Every structure is written in C-alpha cells, then in structure tokens.
C-alpha cells in the first residue's frame, strides 16, 4: 500500500529534469534514490533512457554528466542506458572524441555494463569523424569485453 503514495515514473520524468536544470543535483539524486529504492520501482533500460533524455534536453550536457556520475557512483544504475541519449547526441553533433572519452570514463572508472547498441553508436560517431584507429581500438575492446559484435558492427 505504501507504494501508492510515491510519485510514479511519469512524475519522475517530469520532475527530475527541472530539478537537475536548476542545479540541484543532490536533490535530484535523492529523489531518484527514493523512487528506486524505497518505492521499489524497478527501472528497465527504456525507462532510464527516457528519464535521462528528458534531463539532457532540459538541463544540458554538463548537468546531465554530473547527475549521471552520481547515479552510477552510488550504483543506482550500472548499465549504459543512462548514457545512451547523451552518447547519441554527441555523435550526431560531431563530437565523437568527447563521446568516446565520456564512454571510456564511465566504462573504466565506474564499471558500467556496456551493450552492443552503445558500442555501435560510439563507433559510428568515430568513423564519421574519420577516427578509424580509435574506432578499431574500441572494436577490439568490445570483443575483449565479451560484447560480441554482430553484422552491423
């Protein structure tokens, strides 16, 4: 019965981008933590991507990264779904090197689990920027990380 008194995920997707945009990262983190731990909401990959896409659109890149770092460092989210909207956005705006550095940082420093979808997105951006050596190294890392490439990679 207690779960009924907590905001639902739609409310969370509306509230958090505004809180992050205001620069209240710690408050946003506490809200997210409360929803995911105390209310028992289990966010799937799509939920994380939708939430983080809203934060990216409303709050911008810098605040997005700070908020994402707080989530992964506290193990609220340990997969790459929280980075997916930002990585795709950076690649589409020709910032493949920033994209790769951010991807590497979250993968190595925070130990997030990476998926083929995000690897492909980062490699596409690197190849479009004609950074073939870096893309090839990432491809080799992907194979070493047991993220099996497919025909699209």
Q: Please choose, from the candidates 35, 3, 40, the residue with its C-alpha nearest in 3D space to the C-alpha of residue 19.
A: 35
Q: What is the pLDDT of residues 67-110, one digit of tens each?
A: 888 888 888 887 888 888 888 777 777 777 788 888 888 888 88
Say what the pLDDT of residue 52 is.
Answer: 86
What's the pLDDT band for 150 if we cut at 50, 70, 90? low
Give the predicted TM-score (pTM) of the model: 0.76
Q: What is the pLDDT of residues 30-42, one digit of tens each?
A: 888 777 766 566 6
Say what the pLDDT of residue 5 is.
Answer: 44
Say what the pLDDT of residue 133 is.
Answer: 92
Q: Looking at residues 7-25, what average pLDDT do you find?
A: 81
Burial 132-150 (b: 16+ CB within 10 A, else e): eebbeebbeebeeeebeee
């Amino acid at each position: 019965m207690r779960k009924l008194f907590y905001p639902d995920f739609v409310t969370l997707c509306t509230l958090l981008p505004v809180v992050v945009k205001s620069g209240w990262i710690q408050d946003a983190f506490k809200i997210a933590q409360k929803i995911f731990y105390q209310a028992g909401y289990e966010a799937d990959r799509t939920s994380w991507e939708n939430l983080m896409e809203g934060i990216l659109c409303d709050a911008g890149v810098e605040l997005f990264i700070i908020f994402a770092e707080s989530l992964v460092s506290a193990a609220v989210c340990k997969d790459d779904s929280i980075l997916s909207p930002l990585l795709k956005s950076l690649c589409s705006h020709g910032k493949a090197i920033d994209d790769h550095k951010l991807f590497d940082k979250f993968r190595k420093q925070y130990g997030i689990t990476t998926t083929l979808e995000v690897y492909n997105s980062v490699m596409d951006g690197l190849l479009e920027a004609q950074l073939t050596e870096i893309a090839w190294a990432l491809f080799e890392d992907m194979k070493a990380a047991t993220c099996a490439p497919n025909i699209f990679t």
